[in-house]
Amino acid sequence: MVRTVLEAIILAVTTRRQFLHQGATVGAGVLVLSFAGCAAPLTPSEAYARQLPLRTLTDVETRTLSMLGETLLPGSVAAGFVHYIDHQLAVPASQCMFMAKYVGVSPPFLDFYRPGLAAVESLAQRRFGKSASALEAKAAHMLVSALSSGAAPGWEGPPAPLLYFVLRSDAVDVSYGSRAGFERLGVPYMPHIEPPARWGA
């Protein structure tokens, strides 16, 4: 199982350029979300700032995902991590931009994310006696470390290291996968194909 997960991660790294090339090609549509009740498309960070209602995730899943996002990459929730995941779960698989798509996870992707978040919640309850969203920073980091290493006894979700890799990739994509994100990192943005318009917040 570990070898399978590692092979999937290696495949993801080798196809990362294809993923970024596709994102650059479609330009403004990559991270721009359309939400009911809004006349114009929004970036994930704008959706978060307006606290737009989620369409797919439950309250518990939202809180668990928020904890994971902030532990994996502080600031990712404000960048729209949860809204991005929720939106991508609602679109057809052919339009989905999840990293999971590139590591062999078969759609529907809700069948990967939902059991994964439930398994994280169960792990938090077993190890710390409280909900994942109620964990303090040290415990949250211990939980995420257990995911990344696969050291999660009683785990009943998708492979824990794969879930870790996919969620971390999602958080990085939302936070830094745009021209604005590259600017925040101080890294030159050099797309293979220049997007037709500036995108990302």
Read off the pLDDT of residues 108-157 as tens digits, 9 standing for 90 and up: 999 999 999 999 999 999 999 999 999 999 999 999 999 999 999 999 99
The whole-number pLDDT of residue 188 equals: 73
DSSP 108: P
Is it the case that residue 196 has pLDDT exceeding 70?
no
The whole-number pLDDT of residue 11 equals: 46
Dmax of the chain from CA atoms? 50
Q: What is the pTM of this model?
A: 0.76
Q: Radius of gyration over alpha carbons of the chain, in Å?
A: 17
Residue 45: name the closest of 163, 197, 144, 178 by CA: 178
Buried b (16+ CB within 10 A) or exposed e, 11-23: ebeeeeeebeeeb
CB neighbour list of residue 146: distance below 8 Å, 6 or more residues apart: 123, 127, 152, 160
pLDDT: is 87 or 33 the higher one?
A: 87
Q: What is the DSSP code string of 29-61? A: GSS-B--TT-SS-B-HHHHHHTTPPPSS--HHH
Arithmetic mean of pLDDT, 46-51: 90
The domains of the chain are located at 2-185
Average pLDDT of every residue of the chain? 81
Arithmetic mean of pLDDT, 60-74: 97
pLDDT: is 80 or 41 the higher one?
A: 80
The whole-number pLDDT of residue 14 equals: 42
**Percent of the chain residues past pLDDT 70, beyond the cut:** 70
Residue 1 and residue 159 in contact, taking contact as beta carbons nearer than 8 Å: yes
Buried b (16+ CB within 10 A) or exposed e, 133-165: bebeeebbeebbebbeeeebeebebbbbbbbbb
How many other C-beta atoms lie within 10 A of the C-beta of residue 94?
7
Residue 187 and residue 171 in contact, taking contact as beta carbons nearer than 8 Å: no
